[in-house]
Structure 1
Amino acid sequence: MNSHRFVKPQYTTYMQQSQVDKKSLKGKKVAISGTFKNLKHKDVEVMIKKLGAMCSGNVTASTNYLVQGSGKKYESKKLRQAEKMKIPIIDLNWLEKRCKEINANGALEKTQPVPVPDNRNTILSRPFVPDLAPLNIDGTTKIGQGNDTNESCTFVSLTVARPTIPVPECEIRNSQEGLQLYQPPARPVKRLPLHGSVFVPHRRYQESDGHFIGSEVELLAGKYQLVSGLGQGGYAKVFEAKDITTGKSVAIKVSKAGQTYRWSASNEIRVLKTLRANSDNHKKQIINFQAEFEYLGHNFIVLELLSLSLCDFLKDNEYAPFPNSQIQSVNRQILVGLAFLQDLGIIHADLKPGNIVLCNRAYQTFTYRRTVFSTWSETRYDASRRVLLDPEIRLIDFGLASFYDEESGIHDGSYPYCAPEVRLRLKSTFARDIWSLGCILLELFTGRVAFSDTSLPDYLAIAEAVTGSDIDDAWLGAQSQDRDVHCPSLKSSVLASRERLRTEKVNDLNRIVSRDNSFLEGFQDLIRSTLTFNPDDRIQVREALRHVWVTGKAPPDDGTVAAKIRRQ
């Protein structure tokens, strides 16, 4: 359904009587409201199908309420009537946004009675309920349009089937080691509102590009003393600081000054607060959020102080690969983090080694001799490498994160780890994080980035060569205004890149991950399932947590030896 049809209220959409099997319906009546223009019959029909609803016929104003009236005064009157009779109101704008990314099983959020929003564009938050199969709507449903006068209109009664909420699994365990891999959050999950910001910028405390100058401030919020800078990203700087009230060290992320960076900071604060509100004593591998405040035109986010990112550790280790046992451990932890995010309806959207941080950088040096194949090269290691004593990690940086059911646009993230459907501007779902995970696992195994930061046609052609599968040509010809700005003749460009790569040496997965034993066979199988072009066919996070390679036991290697050293 095209979002451009949803503008100021101008038309009335209604449904006439439909014959349905009422015995199959369980639930309640709802009123539907929204702002739209030129809404087509098929648009609404598809929407109803995917919501798991059936039209149960025309009713009078005494029992149900108008879909959409003409004019604010007329609309408000009907909505007040619906509220008075305590009939739940569903915002059609929210439904449209939800349906755009609804999965094949018709997943939706449980309808809750909500107050009438003042703004019809308000997105109503509801607890997320996965895996709901939609009911069918028969072919006799008819949708028509009134004009923009205050004419009498037909009313609609939708009976939304009450979803059978699956009881969350108590845990997902490692069958070989008896380890608990994942404990879902309690239901219903909590979602925090967007953080509001009021900025009073002060040029003395910011650089020309808007970054905060920490050296000009002695004490933040009356308790945080800046110690040193830790790094700098696209919209923020990170400082190490000391909480003088507790004596503990923390990390403080400081956003740039400016409207764009204000939104990113507010969005990250909302996500972090939501994560904290739903956390428990079980490890979810997410960075610990402690506090936030505003000062001198900047947002300050106080976080637990961690160590190096996986990216920095690889660099310091001269890009030597991780031991297989530690790749397995890191993968398990990332999957636990992604499962937690997905249970809260959150897409990370920027998963990469730079946003996965170690809790401890302690390591042991081992002799390392091995020939490693990566996408473009063959490297012989005959020296030493650092092996972590403890590969425990945390996921960080939620500046681009979004809630699955809220329209926020498609953000690329980092190109080498960006899923094809995202770079093609087609969709952004939980599956994009799974593709990123596959890229990360290959990088830890080879020490090299799997797909370089290159042009879109080259990126797609290289991904085809590595995975041994082809992207659907229909995707390359799909309409996308944003994408066409970057590459007007995408299909022909990809064909040219494919042809050029035939003369260049690109290693495929069979060469990069040799199937020398059952452990590596399982690893290659997991990689292939994460790097599937069609996001609907890509492995899901809970499937991955049960994958034989994830639940199995890794053969002894430098990583298992380092773990024994740590326990001594």
Structure 2
Amino acid sequence: MSREDRQIYDRRGHRQQERVSSWKRDGGGDGGDHRRQGSRRRPSSKRSWERSNRHYDSYDHANTSNGINGWSAKRRRQSPDQQQRDYHQQREPAWGDYPSARRDRTRSRSRDRYPSREQQQHQHKRQRDSRRARNGSGSSGGSSSRGGGGGSGGGRRGQGNGGGGGGGGGDDEGHYEGQSGSVLGDGYEVQEDVGTGTFGRVVACWDRRGRRTVAVKVVRRVKRYHESALIEADILRDVNRAGGAGAALCVRLLDQFDARGHCCLVFERMGPSLYDVLKRNDYRGFPLRYVRDFARQLLEAVAFLHSMGLVHTDLKPENVLLCDLELEPERGRYKDDQDALMLPVSTRIKVIDFGGATYVDDHKSATVNTRQYRAPEVILGVGWCRPSDLWSCGCIVAELYQGELLFATHDNMEHLALMERCVGPFPRHMVRASPVGAKYFDSRGVSRWRRACPEDSRAHIRRMPTIEELVAQDEPSGLGGLLEGILELDPDKRLRASDALRHRFFAAPPPAQQQQQQQPAHRK
């Protein structure tokens, strides 16, 4: 049989030569005409694979970091067995810790916003001086140095007392390790540890001068966290200086100083976060009247920040604190008090954590928000502004109502697919404008998740409820309509905070009817 070449195309459309005669010479054929026999044999040995020089690209998976071009050159030099092993090693580990539909809340929240947040901190550092000039004397008027903090100069920030009083140990990885009874700054006696995070520690302190209990955020002795704390202090002074009802819904900065190289921010003492209460109640949602009060205050705070030209960028239940420390069991619904929801005595809340906040006229980083509260325009890279905060508010309100994360995911492809299942298809103009649109959608604007995601992810996406399914139909409260308005995929059509506050959901029913409102049937 004479040599016969046939033309084939790989997945990218590159024309390749495949020599049928080489198959037979290398043991891949039996001397017959494969086309007449209808055979679809492929090269079966390492030698024949090297001769055929075919391109086999990895699947364009959402989590693939090397990309198609990096794989094609590598695969030409490998045997079939090695290619198959590398293909699975490339694909599978990204889904090794895939969260189930009911996410394990003992895990820490997604931290994939912080690399970009670090970039944002450096960008804000350049802009901090211009904000000080715009505000006149800047931060000096709002920062009490408390007499220089034990001998420090009378600059913008008191330097504390150097040693931090007694009881302090060595700092591990930049964390402050002062013990109970030690003194921070000029008269803040440490009482107890409130919590520890990536940024540092929060400790409850007794203010000897003010005769009150305060919360001191002791930032890690790491440059990027120190810079973020300075940004947060500057923004909080702007917010507190503005005054009014909106400022009262944001945490109040009382003082700022340095202690042993740690930037310390002093705040009023607050209660637990809304996430802490959800966790205490085994992730059972709040009664509707509580959801209404929390949502109203949250939107009022956001409307106030937006009127100042500020975007918070990190709204989530962890960053919404109750003003009251006390919780009490819900009465009248459970025979056993152990099953009763623990509810706050007061529904007053305040928004915290302004370290990632940015002014609308400042340079914006590409990625903001914690993953589960991230707006679609941020994922698609089409630009974000105030509406991204409203999307986060919608995710928070839905979580307060049902008790669980609305979008339980750690992957962009899956996240976008969950959004589509919940609120509808993406606008074509957003997909076309996105620099990564072709990665997640085909030419018709249809999401690629059915082929790109593994089976457990596809099952998770199919279980995603729509807003109509999420909100109990026997509760004509208007909550579903509010969520549809603030979870609009197109940021240009999304409700503004001031418009959302006029929604009928906030027209509270009579008190007698409030007491009769029940939680959705799908809760535990």
Fold match (TM-score > 0.5)? yes
Q: For 2:391 and 2:136, how far apart are their aligned partners in 1?
A: 27
Answer yes or no: is the 8 Å Cα contact 1:526–1:547 preserved in 2. Answer: yes
Q: What corresponds to 1:472 in structure 2?
A: 427
After TM superposition, the structure 1 = structure 2 runs for residues 245-264 of structure 1, keeping only pairs within 5 Å, are 245-264=209-228
The Cα shift of 1:210 comes to: 1.4
Which structure: greater strand fraction?
Answer: 1
Partner of 1:296: 260
CA distance in 1, matches of 2:137, 2:379: 28
Superposition pairs of residues 60-459 of structure 1, within 5 angstroms: 192=138, 207-215=171-179, 218-280=182-244, 284-360=248-324, 361-366=326-331, 368=333, 383-459=339-415
Q: Taking structure 1 as reference, are residues 418 and 555 closer, same or farther at Cα in structure 2, changes over 3 Å only? A: farther
Q: CA deviation at 1:123?
A: 5.2
Per the alignment, in what secondary structure is the counterpart of residue 418 of structure 2? helix
C-alpha change, 1:420 and 1:121, in structure 2 (3 Å) is: same
In our comparison, the structure showing a higher alpha carbon Rg is 2
Q: Which amino acid aligns with 2:328?
A: Y
Which letter does structure 2 place at the counterpart of 1:264?
S
Matched, 1:496 2:451: no
Unmatched tracts of structure 2, length 5 or more: 1-125, 144-155, 452-457, 518-524
**1:278 CA drift (Å):** 0.9
Distance 1:400 1:206, change over 3 A: farther
Aligned-pair CA distance for 1:247:
2.5
CA distance in 2, matches of 1:454, 1:494: 21
Aligned position for 1:162: none
CA contact (8 A) 2:255 2:266 kept: yes
User: Counterpart in 2 of 1:535?
Assistant: 491
1:190–1:278 CA contact under 8 A, matched in 2: no
Change (3 A) 1:367 1:245: same
Following superposition, the deviation at residue 557 of structure 1 comes to 6.2
Give the match's secondary structure for 1:397: coil
What are the superposed Cα offsets for residues 275-323 of structure 1, whole Å, 9 maximum, x if unpaired? 1111147763111211111121111110010111000001111112111
- Alpha-carbon distance in 2 for matches of 1:120, 1:355: 25
* CA drift at 1:270: 0.6
Judging changes above 3 Å, is the alpha-carbon distance between structure 1 residues 300 and 503 closer, same or farther for their aligned structure 2 residues? closer
Amino acid of the structure 2 residue aligned with 1:491: F
* Root mean square deviation of aligned Cα: 3.6
Work out whether 1:545 is the aligned partner of 2:497: no
- Compute the displacement of 1:264 (Å): 0.7
**Which TM-score applies when normalising by structure 1?**
0.57
- Is the contact between residue 175 and residue 221 of structure 2 (CA under 8 Å) also seen in structure 1? yes
- For the structure 1 residues 121 and 296, does the alpha-carbon distance in structure 2 shift closer, same or farther, using more than 3 Å as the test? closer
Deviation at 1:252, TM superposition (A): 0.4
Shift of 1:392: 1.0
1:508 and 2:470 correspond: no
User: Per the alignment, do residues 298 and 425 of structure 1 end up closer, same or farther by CA in structure 2, a change over 3 Å counting?
Assistant: farther
* 3-state secondary structure, aligned to 1:301: strand
Q: Which amino acid aligns with 1:434?
A: L
Deviation at 1:497, TM superposition (A): 1.9
When structure 1 is superposed on structure 2, of 345-354 and 509-518 the one drifting more is: 509-518
| Higher percent of residues as helix | 2
- The amino acid that maps onto 1:362 is L
**CA distance in 1 between partners of 2:139 and 2:401 (Å):** 40
Distance 1:305 1:198 in 2: 21
What is the TM-score of this pair, normalised by structure 2? 0.62
- C-alpha distance in 1 between matches for 2:407 and 2:439: 22
- Structure 1 residues 479, 348: CA separation in 2 closer, same or farther (over 3 Å shift)? same
Q: Deviations over 1:315-338 (max 9, x none)?
A: 111112111111111111111111
Aligned CA distance change for structure 1 residues 474 and 122 (closer, same or farther; 3 Å) = farther
2: distance between equivalents of 1:416 and 1:503? 14
8 A Cα contact 1:191 1:274, kept in partner: no
Q: Is the 8 A contact 1:294 1:300 kept in 2?
A: yes
Separation (CA, whole Å) in 1 of partners of 2:322 and 2:174: 29
SS at match of 2:462: coil
- Asked if 2 retains the 8 angstrom alpha-carbon contact of 1:197 and 1:262, the reply is no
**Alpha-carbon distance in structure 2 between the residues aligned to 1:387 and 1:216:** 30
Unaligned runs of 5+ in 1: 1-118, 128-188, 370-381, 562-568
Whole-Å separation in 2 of the counterparts to 1:346 and 1:460: 26
Structure 2: how far apart are the matches of 1:523 and 1:120?
40
> Deviation digits for residues 169-227 of structure 1, max 9, x if unmatched?
xxxxxxxxxxxxxxxxxxxx999469978999999866432111122982122210011
Shift of the 224–123 alpha-carbon distance from structure 1 to 2, 3 Å rule, reads closer
Higher alpha-carbon deviation: 547-556 or 413-422: 547-556
Matched-pair contact (CA < 8 Å) for 2:246–2:304: no
1:66 alignment counterpart: none
Counterpart CA distance in 2 for 1:356 and 1:221 is 27
Relative to structure 1, is the Cα distance of residues 283 and 347 closer, same or farther in structure 2, using a 3 angstrom cutoff?
A: closer
Return the letter of the residue paired with 2:408: S
SS at match of 1:460: helix
- Does the 8 A contact of 1:322 with 1:445 survive in 2? yes
Letter in 2 for 1:532: E
